Amino acid sequence: MPELPEVETVVRSLAPIAGQRILNAEFRNLRILRGGDPERLSARLEGRRILAIQRYGKFIVTSMEGGGYLTIHLGMTGRLLLGADPGKHTHAIFTFDRATLLFDDSRQFGSVEFSEDFPRRVARLGPEPLEIPFDQFACALQRHKTRIKSLLLNQTFVRGVGNIYADEALFRAGIHPQALTQRIGRARARKLYDAIVAVLTEAIAAGGSSISDYVDAEGRQGFFQISHRVYQRTGQPCTACLTPIRRVIVTQRSSHFCPLCQKR
């Protein structure tokens, strides 16, 4: 579910726990806990204050008072919920001075990890798409040899773009998801760069896309899904030319596109 705009919305809604102390950390499902046993981790976290909560692509990195980082990834169906009741898919419960935070995840693709040093899998990510300068984006694009949709999903290229926003950006840029990166010149790269920036900025302003069950920590839904032009609109008319939107599989992921507006 959550891509950059959804994770950004979640991080913003977590502002109330910044500066608060973790009184208790309980882990109910060890699948989502990466590396390390729950007892030791609880002991490591309890009594410590949250210093800052930051987003890196789709990762949430919480820096702790006295050192260490709590890194959370929401996977496909992960949620962080303030003041909610634990349920069937609650895998971790953090009790703070004045708040309770749950980590829920029905598919269990998400993760919670504690590390003394800045997490390596986050350090390995590419630049933020809303921060990278165009020249750097264009150079990085040239260096890869693959289909553009695959590249956009590759988190070492830019971090935070997922299936929804890749499809939406490619539509706005008029580029076919299966287009080879070598066939994308500077002008088309510019259109793509601008489209990514626009779609992510608009989605953040709308609080993300709520496809099935995404909500922020306060339980609020996003509403960018009403602005989707291709994503999950297979068979519906293109917003620009009325041609039915098509769906193809690119690197095992659904890609939605307009066969007339988007060129290889």
Partner DNA sequence: ATCGGTACCTGCACGC
Partner DNA sequence: TGCGTGCAGGTACCGA
Using CB under 7 A, which residues numbered 148 to 167 contact DNA?
Answer: 150, 153-155, 162-164
Number of residues that bind DNA (CB under 7 A): 41
Per DSSP (E only), the strands in the chain are 22-27, 50-56, 59-64, 69-73, 78-82, 90-96, 100-105, 111-115, 246-250, 253-257
Do 107 and 75 contact (CB within 8 A), yes or no? yes
The DSSP H or E segment spanning 122 is helix 120-123
CB closer to DNA, 22 vs 152: 152
DSSP state of 33: B
**Is residue 92 near DNA by the rule CB under 7 A?**
no
Nearer to DNA, 22 or 172 (CB): 172
| Cβ at position 2, least distance to DNA in Å | 6
Active site residues: 2-3, 58, 253
Minimum distance from CB of 180 to DNA (Å)? Answer: 9
- Between 21 and 121, whose beta carbon lies closer to DNA? 121
Question: Of the two residues 16 and 38, which places its CB atom closer to DNA in the complex?
Answer: 38
Distance CA 123, CA 29 (A): 26
What residues line the site for DNA (CB under 7 A)? 1-3, 31, 57-58, 73, 75-77, 88-89, 106-109, 121, 144-147, 150, 153-155, 162-164, 209-214, 225, 232, 247, 251-254
